[in-house]
Amino acid sequence: MLPIKMNPEEQFKKIISHCKEYGFIFPSSEIYEGLAAVYDYGQNGVELKNNLRTYWWKSMIQMHQNIVGIDASIFMHPKTWKASGHVDGFSDPMIDNKDSKKRYRADQLLEDHQDKIRAKIEKELDKAAKRFGDSFNKELYSETNPKIVSYNETIEIIDDTLKKGLETGDLGLIKQLIEELEIVCPVSGSKNWTDVRQFNLMYSTQMTATDGESELYLRPETAQGIFVNFLNVQKSGRMKIPFGIAQTGKAFRNEIVARQFIMRMKEFEQMEMQFFVRPGEELKYYEYWKAIRLNWHLAMGTATDKYRFHDHVKLAHYANAAVDIEYHFPFGFKEVEGIHSRTNFDLSRHQEFSGKKMQYFDTELNENYIPYVIETSIGLDRIFLVQLFENLIEETLENGETRTVFKIHPALAPFKVAILPLLKKDGLPEFAQKIYNELKYDFQCFYEEKDTIGKRYRRQDAIGTPFCVTIDYDSLENMDVTLRYRDSMEQKRIKVSELQDIISQQVSWKSILNKIEE
Ligand code: ATP
């Protein structure tokens, strides 16, 4: 069986249509033409999403004695976002093309331009490698070939100008660079640009109270709900440093240039954990969490070379280390998770803005301090997308037919087992229902009587069900069934009494959680 090769665009289209056809993801309010960059999870999608969230939650809270969870509100006091810096600083530099009326993130236009230059460099290097054969010295050639040197200089100028423009707020520098590089609008092809302006990414709304109205924000990240509850949790849970607080929940960002399906949405879900440590010990824990978080991704069965760490070159002013975990999508390595050493910035700011002490008394050191924080922050929807790219496979079978199979880790699969009576008569459905009623307490089970068994197997393959149990006439006499494995398509005759154990072994949380620590 061979996976069929597809180009990235084809693969994306295939994933989006598969998600719709099999009840994973629908465009939001589709009967009204949908809402840009907002999606709804369907009957199979919600199961997978719940499982991914549970996997994260267990890996944090159940696996660590010193991490607890909370569920803070989406609405928070507006001062929270002043203190966190989001009111003044959480914005993207945008530029409009006057001809196409399309709006772009100015930094992304420049980064896309850098990618194009990098592709040109690669082309030059390929050509040279062919020309010089075995004697080709790639490094030396890159350093001395005038074309490549000049390309690299342009890449650097873009980095420097972006950094300077964003740090000083002189957005004219960015516009000037876009003009100098003659970057054109991908839609109109023209260079007729407006000035670059900053757009805040937070959505605001009003809250009415007896003393009037106040402006509130929909939270753009879940982390602040953890910071403002730091003392509540520490005191009520008698937590001792180092300890962590985790939470999952919706976050909202007015992403103007939302694209790539659930990769960048206006409403999405984050899973964040803040780990509070002694000042000076943060980099030790930063390394610890880098390793644990990478293992979390790999434990789902992904090949090691599909992930990489990408250190932030431009650190936020409050961070002393930051790295992204990137997954190799067919359209390039992209961030799926961030790990940040945030110093004591957030707690200090909340202390300043609220006037409440955000300190911890360390009994071992006999001193008070504001703890330092390591944050791990991952997008649940992006991980969902990774699962689709990684595991949705089209295979050519030995008989020449093709099948679409979603080879998700069994512990994460929306349904664990499908119970399928071969025929809809002669007591087979009743026997099958009995098995369903037995297994449903432990596993999310699917029951289906319609269509040929082959078609039913294909449908379960497409939603990732690791096991199918088929009930036939022999079952009634011998109390046995056919167990079919999703990945190998192997079929085994087993006793009904063995089902529970066989399924358990493969779908248990242990089967995935214990790989994180390996
Ligand atoms: P990006 O650079 O891709 O915009 P970010 O650096 O702003 O992401 P963070 O603020 O660090 O992202 O958020 C943590 C995680 O939340 C990201 O790694 C990503 O998985 C997820 N995330 C962020 N923005 C979105 C979005 N608009 N849609 C879906 N997931 C998102």
In this structure, the answer to whether residues 146 and 211 fall within a common structural domain is: no
Which of helix, strand or coil describes residue 280? coil
How many angstroms does the Cα of residue 314 sit away from the middle of ligand 1?
A: 16
Given ligand 1 and candidates 226, 268, 335, 336, which is best to mutate, with the most ligand atoms within 8 Å of its CB?
335
> Distance between CA 311 and CA 320 in Å, rounded?
11
Kind and range of the H or E run holding 90 = none
Q: Identify the pLDDT of residue 1.
A: 41
Rounded to whole angstroms, the Cα distance separating 81 from 217 reads 8
Q: Which atom of ligand 1 is nearest to the CA of 263?
A: 29
Ligand 1: which of 270, 294, 309, 323 to mutate, most ligand atoms within 8 Å of CB?
Answer: 270
HEC per residue, 9-21: HHHHHHHHHHHHH
* 351 and 467 assigned to the same domain: no
> Which residue minimizes the CA distance to atom 16 of ligand 1?
379
Residue minimizing CA distance to atom 23 of ligand 1: 379
What does the buried/exposed string (b/e) look like for 417-429 if buried means 16 or more CB atoms within 10 Å of the residue's CB? Answer: bbbbbbeeeeebb
Coil/strand/helix, residue 420:
strand
Q: CA 114 to CA 155: how far, in whole Å?
A: 6
Same domain, 503 and 433: yes
Backbone angles phi, psi at 504, to 5 degrees: -50, -45
Calculate how far, in angstroms, residue 379's C-alpha sits from the geometric centre of ligand 1. 6
Q: Is residue 299 part of a domain?
A: no
| Ligand 1 centroid from CA 194, angstroms | 27
Ligand 1 pocket at CB < 6 A: 221, 253, 255, 264-265, 268, 270, 335-338, 377-379, 381-382
Based on the domain organization, do 130 and 67 belong to the same domain? no
Q: Are residues 347 and 268 in the same domain?
A: yes
**Range of the structural domain that residue 253 is part of:** 2-82+201-280+341-390
Give the domain-ending residue among 199, 225, 258: 199
CATH of the domain at 363: 3.30.930.10
**Same domain? 112 vs 193:** yes
pLDDT at 15: 95
pLDDT value, residue 2: 44
Per-residue pLDDT of the chain (518 residues; tens, 9 = 90+): 445 556 778 888 999 999 999 999 999 999 999 998 999 999 999 999 999 999 999 999 999 999 999 999 999 999 999 999 999 888 889 999 999 988 899 998 999 899 899 999 999 999 999 999 988 999 999 999 999 999 999 999 999 999 899 888 899 999 999 999 999 999 999 999 999 999 889 999 998 877 777 889 999 999 999 999 999 999 999 999 999 999 999 999 998 776 789 999 999 999 999 999 999 999 999 999 999 999 999 999 998 999 999 998 777 778 899 999 999 998 889 999 999 999 999 999 999 999 999 999 999 999 999 999 999 999 999 999 999 999 999 999 888 899 999 999 999 999 999 999 999 999 999 999 999 999 999 999 999 999 999 999 999 999 999 999 999 999 999 999 999 999 999 999 999 999 999 999 999 999 999 999 86
Query: Can you tell me the distance from the alpha carbon of 114 to that of 107, in angstroms, rounded to the nearest whole number?
Result: 11
Q: Does a structural domain hold residue 468?
A: yes
